[in-house]
Structure 1
């Protein structure tokens, strides 16, 4: 599957964070977005580990963007939120992962691989700034 709730929540949180000039805490974001605090905290920490967010500790701590929105691709955000490379289908990036076990050739794989390449390129070009507009 291409996107899960982790990506959805990451994008929703990043939109709010991008519109502020001060760190936003997990409590505030989870209440504002009506999202589980613990699940959101896990996502935000993943984004911080991938240099998408900066994390600030303390009473006025929280999260801010580590880079301008125009430098944050949706592909990068999605991969950080999901914890893996995105794939339209399990086998779309590697024919060896074909679940049908039809040998070394699947008639669908060339199409799926081209689709994956188009999706990857589109998500690489689409940025957080595009979503903010």
Structure 2
């Protein structure tokens, strides 16, 4: 469980919207236009087995994040995990984006809330603890 927490904390090192580095905790709307929540499909890591980690973005009205293809403006939102040696990570899984206008240009992304997820595979020789 502690190891999953360590991976979770390492995963949440993103979000250019935040005024300071993102921490694995929800922030109040008055502090930032986005709240992040780390989610997982498991409570324990099994050696050699894949599991999903996701970041749920809850955005204040008027704010958005961009899709992997942001369109004519903006930069794609990135999840940049710093995992322990031996862990493998898959590509970011993107939901269908919304189309909106940003500075008069077509853009793709998400408003309100969305989840970006990745599949992580633990090394087969992972030791407990």
Q: Compare the two structures and name the one with the higher helix fraction.
A: 1
**Higher-Rg member (1/2):** 1
With normalisation by structure 1, the TM-score equals: 0.29
Q: Compare the two structures and name the one with the higher strand fraction.
A: 2
